[in-house]
Structure 1
Amino acid sequence: MTNLVSSILSFFSLETLDTRLHAPSNTERKQAIIARANPTSKWNTLEYKFYALVFIVTVPLMYKTAMDASNETNPNYPKFEHLLSQGWMFGRKVDNSDQQYRFFRNNIPMLFGMIVLHTCTRRVSNWAFQIKRRTSFDFIFGLGFLVVAHGTNCFKILLHIAINYIIGRYITNRKIAILVSWVYGISSLFLNDAVRNTPYGIGFLDNGYKGLVPRWDVFFNFTLLRMLSFNFDYLERKQKLSEDREKSAGTEMGGGVECLSLNLPPLDDRSRLTAPLPLSDYSIPNYIAYVLYTPLFIAGPVVTFNDFIYQSNYNQVSSVKNYKRTFIYFLRLVFCILVMEFLLHFMYVVAVSKTKAWQGDTPFQISMIGLFNLNLIWLKLLIPWRIFRFWSLLDGIDPPENMIRCMDNNYSALAFWRAWHRSYNRWVVRYIYVPLGGGGNYRIVNSLCVFSFVAVWHDIELKMLMWGWLVVIFLLPELGATMYFKRFQNQWWYNYLCGIGAVANIWMMMLANLFGFCLGKDGTLDLLSEMFGTVSGIEFFILSSGALFVGSQVMFELRESEMRRGVNVRC
């Protein structure tokens, strides 16, 4: 039994998701992490046995309540029944009413067919043509895939790609090149939103094949991240080589420092971000191969140019050749897909939220409609990202894992953003937050800049910009409380105080996301009205806050357990 539990815990551990989440190979760094953890596990204490009992009672009750609020037995069922489709699981109907996920779900077989085609084509090409550099294949296949995916709209994307390349390579002043890259990159988002359907004025282009994904501008946002990464990595490398030449008193390009780059040593994940590539690697074929890399083209995860070229042409990370690890990752992907299918077949919460069919429901039921809606949003993003990352791992490129925590395993707004869309978070930290000064004297201003870009990148709407600024404002109480109370971290009551803060944080994050993505204004106001305007609502608030407090204590100990293994992902 112990071995079975150990195997299950290992299967769902952080380390099986991404080698970046392993304990540091450096012994001193690993021991420093272990030293910060509580050396004594609390799992077998009476306190945590009580917490386990709360979980055993509460979690099934949450599922049952969400099902009761959205199934055939609910009086509101006729209001949303028309949004349901015939399912495949136990004769149940399925809630396939989310347009975004429906498109992806209906095309999963085709997507896996593309994975097989791409993987086999690379293997055959490598054997038949003895291709020495992977990027040669990626260049050709990427252009072909671009045409298949976006049809005649590919010319609009290629125009953006070309303009960005010219900016990065031919503006000689580094600071001006960076500024122009940012101005053009952000402007392209507004431009695409304004003219995405503007015709070319040429018959065969306007009336021709528009691709499998006609809305090319939606996925261009990820292309933009790769375009900017190429420019910034090139400019940084050019600057570094220039500084090295000055230090070496006249070493010429092509010798000295540049030649050392041709035989690159094994590098870890962080070192690959600034890999010492020769300038010849910042070429048009490599640029296009990177920007159009098929497994990650549609939605990422995002890998930087330096990291991609290093893995592609110099030293593929040995772990990606570990087919056992990739297979375990695939099994976790299948598990997530089955969980999603179970929820869509047994909880019709998306249809309920679309029709606002919660009249007469209790505060507990409305809150579970919202909570499981948020879980479905998390899953509908996680599943595509993991499919694309699995494809990339199978192909020999190891990008960062995007979702490393379950949505419900979060108690800190700051840590939540580190774990949500992690590769994008790493991108904005490297190219925006750190260049602006990071967490120094202007931390709040730098965070406002980061979330302003994040908001505009997601959608060209004022409400998204307001959302970005509100996120920063919501972070302030947590940052202030953390700085003030950290001095008491050795006190016996510190964890319980943090638990109270965590409960407040979780309520704030849930209400903000319920308002923005699930229940909307009406549903959120109905929930608050019921929760604080009725006796049953107040009882629910007290009991649910108690359950959240228990959950936060379990989350704390989960992270302590990771730190005792030398793992600290700071989220």
Structure 2
Amino acid sequence: MAELLNSILDFFSLETLDTRLYPPTNPVKKQQVINKANAKSKWNTLEFKVYIAIFAVTVPLMYKTAMDASNETNPNYPKFARLLSQGWLFGRKVDNSDQQYRFFRDNFPLLMGLIFLHYSIRRITTPLLHINKRTYFDFGFGLIFLFAAHGTNSLRILIFVLINYLISKFVPNYKLALGLTWFYGILTLFINDKMYNVPFGISFIDHGFKGIIERWDVFYNFTLLRMISFNADYIEKLTEAKDSSKDEEGKLTNSSSSLNLSTLDDRERLKAPLPISDYNVVNYLAYITYAPLFIAGPIVTFNDYIYQSNYQQLPSVKNYKRIFVYFARFLFCVLVMEFLLHFMYVVAVSKTKAWDGNTPFQMSMLGLFNLNIIWLKLLIPWRLFRFWSLLDGIDPPENMIRCMDNNYSALAFWRAWHRSYNRWIIRYIYVPLGGGGKYRILNSLLVFSFVAIWHDIELKLLMWGWLVVFFLLPEILATIYFQRFKEEWWFRHVCAVGAVLNIWMMMIANLFGFCLGKDGTVALLQEMFSTLRGFEFFVLSLIALFTGAQVMFELREAEKRKGIDVRC
């Protein structure tokens, strides 16, 4: 029994997802992490046995409440029934009303066929054509894939992409080139929002084959991140060359055989000592159109992509057993999503605002499971595309390393949610602006403003971005003040109280921005604080969240005892 439990825990562990989450290889650094943890586990204490008992009652009740608020037994069912379609589980209908996930779900067999085709063609053509650099294959296959995906709309993408390339190559002032890169990149988001389908006036382009995905602009945002990554990495390399001596500059422009390109770790690959000759149009287009990561990422920087492609493949992409286990984790998530879509029609309820007469508990569960479905609808494609990339020999960062419900810190939440995007933001925006120094709050406002605009050009999302920053302030200030008391017995409990407040603020911000909108969020808050049953729910929710926070703390302590500290 113990062996089975350990196997299950291993299957769902952080280490299964990404080798970047392993304990440090340096024994000194690993011991430093272990020393930060409480040496003694709390799982067998009376306190945590009570918490586990609360979990055993509360979690099934949460599922039941969400089902009661969104199933055919609810009086509001006729309002959203039209959005449901015939499912495949136990004769139930399925809520396939989310447009983003519907596209992925309906095209899943096609994507699996594409993965097999891409993998097979590379394995066959690489030895036959004596391709000595992987990027040559990626360049050719990527352009074909781009046309298959977007048809004649590929021309629109290539125009944006090549203008960006020309900025990096022909603007002589490096600071100006970087500034123009950002200005141009953000400008293209606004252009696409209003003019993504403006005709060229050329018949075969305007009325020709539009590809499997006609709405090319939906996925352009990820292309933009790669465009900026190439320019920023290239300009950084040029700046380094300019600041170095002539002798050192000569080394930079020499062939890669004279460079130190032995195995680099995750951070070192961001500034891999590549020759400047690698920043060419073939590698650029290979990176931009790299098929496994083209549609939605995860994001890998240009330097990291070229390093892994042409110089040093990582051990993680040669371990097929590990890749198989990762794929099994992916399939488990798909089945969880299918269960939710067949038994909880929360997306359809949210779309039709069919929550009249629901209790605050039901409203909150509609919002919570909506957020869980948003998390899953992003996680599932990202994991499939990352699996494809791992199978192909490129190891990008894992995007989701925590279950959405296993978060209590707003700061840590953003390190675990869309992790590769978060790392991209830190490298190309947050650190260049000064990071967490004197202007930390202003830098955070700029970061989340970009994040909101990048997601969609809507005032609602911009307000969401500013709300997130506003909700970061209490956590930052409380952390600074209470850090001095970390050795006190009550410190953990004060942190749990802070975590409860944090969770509520994060839920409100995300319910407003992505699930219930203004009407639903206001209705939930009014019901909670203007009725007796609402206030009772609020008090009970505080107890449940306090319990959850304590369990989350101990889960992280258990990781630290193994030498793992992912700071989220």
> What is the TM-score of this pair, normalised by structure 1?
0.97
Shift of 1:529: 2.2
Given the alignment, which residue of 318, 321, 325 partners 1:324?
Answer: 321
The yes-or-no answer on 1:471 pairing with 2:485 is: no
Letter in 2 for 1:554: V
Cα 1:539/1:183, change in 2 over 3 Å: same
Instruction: Tell me what 2:258 maps to.
Output: 260
Shift of 1:188: 1.1
Instruction: Tell me what 1:126 maps to.
Output: 126
Instruction: Tell me what 2:205 maps to.
Output: 205
SS in structure 1 of the partner of residue 113 of structure 2: helix
Q: How does 1:332-411 map to 2 (within 5 A)?
A: 332-411=329-408
SS in structure 1 of the partner of residue 316 of structure 2: helix
- Separation (CA, whole Å) in 2 of partners of 1:285 and 1:276: 19
- Separation (CA, whole Å) in 2 of partners of 1:283 and 1:297: 19
Instruction: Tell me what 2:531 maps to.
Output: 534
- Separation (CA, whole Å) in 2 of partners of 1:403 and 1:542: 31
Q: Deviations over 1:354-379 (max 9, x none)?
A: 22222222211111111111101110
The yes-or-no answer on 1:559 pairing with 2:556 is: yes
The yes-or-no answer on 1:20 pairing with 2:17 is: no
Q: How does 1:150-169 map to 2 (within 5 A)?
A: 150-169=150-169
The yes-or-no answer on 1:103 pairing with 2:103 is: yes
* Identity score, percent: 68
Shift of 1:68: 1.3
Instruction: Tell me what 2:4 maps to.
Output: 4
- Separation (CA, whole Å) in 1 of partners of 2:22 and 2:251: 40
Task: Tell whether the 8 Å contact from 1:146 to 1:154 is kept in structure 2 after alignment.
Answer: yes
Q: Deviations over 1:250-298 (max 9, x none)?
A: 856645x97522x611111111000000111111111100010000001
Task: Tell whether the 8 Å contact from 2:313 to 2:393 is kept in structure 1 after alignment.
Answer: yes
Shift of 1:462: 2.6
Instruction: Tell me what 1:305 maps to.
Output: 302
Instruction: Tell me what 2:60 maps to.
Output: 60
The yes-or-no answer on 1:147 pairing with 2:147 is: yes
- Indicate the larger mover: 311-320 or 532-541: 532-541
Q: Deviations over 1:143-197 (max 9, x none)?
A: 0010011111111111111111111112222111111111111111111222211
> What is the TM-score of this pair, normalised by structure 2?
0.98
Given the alignment, which residue of 268, 291, 294 partners 1:294?
Answer: 291
Instruction: Tell me what 1:73 maps to.
Output: 73
Shift of 1:312: 0.3
Task: Tell whether the 8 Å contact from 2:460 to 2:513 is kept in structure 1 after alignment.
Answer: no
- Separation (CA, whole Å) in 1 of partners of 2:182 and 2:519: 38
- Separation (CA, whole Å) in 2 of partners of 1:370 and 1:397: 36
Cα 1:251/1:313, change in 2 over 3 Å: closer
- Separation (CA, whole Å) in 1 of partners of 2:257 and 2:2: 54
Letter in 2 for 1:79: K
Task: Tell whether the 8 Å contact from 1:349 to 1:372 is kept in structure 2 after alignment.
Answer: yes
- Separation (CA, whole Å) in 2 of partners of 1:51 and 1:208: 61
Shift of 1:445: 1.4
Instruction: Tell me what 2:238 maps to.
Output: 238
The yes-or-no answer on 1:219 pairing with 2:216 is: no
Shift of 1:442: 1.1
SS in structure 2 of the partner of residue 384 of structure 1: helix
- Separation (CA, whole Å) in 1 of partners of 2:18 and 2:367: 30
Task: Tell whether the 8 Å contact from 2:464 to 2:512 is kept in structure 1 after alignment.
Answer: no
Shift of 1:404: 0.6
Shift of 1:244: 3.5
- Indicate the larger mover: 175-184 or 466-475: 466-475
Shift of 1:242: 3.3
**Unpaired runs of 5+ in structure 2?**
none
Q: How does 1:455-466 map to 2 (within 5 A)?
A: 455-466=452-463
Cα 1:116/1:249, change in 2 over 3 Å: closer
Instruction: Tell me what 1:496 maps to.
Output: 493
Letter in 2 for 1:299: A
Q: Deviations over 1:69-88 (max 9, x none)?
A: 11122222222212111100
Instruction: Tell me what 2:272 maps to.
Output: 275
The yes-or-no answer on 1:37 pairing with 2:34 is: no
Q: Deviations over 1:112-164 (max 9, x none)?
A: 11101111011111132121110000000000010011111111111111111
Task: Tell whether the 8 Å contact from 1:259 to 1:278 is kept in structure 2 after alignment.
Answer: no
Task: Tell whether the 8 Å contact from 1:230 to 1:304 is kept in structure 2 after alignment.
Answer: yes
Cα 1:464/1:408, change in 2 over 3 Å: same
Task: Tell whether the 8 Å contact from 1:34 to 1:563 is kept in structure 2 after alignment.
Answer: yes
- Separation (CA, whole Å) in 2 of partners of 1:244 and 1:7: 52
SS in structure 2 of the partner of residue 273 of structure 1: helix
Shift of 1:446: 1.3
SS in structure 2 of the partner of residue 214 of structure 1: coil
**Unpaired runs of 5+ in structure 1?**
none
What's the Cα RMSD here?
Answer: 1.4
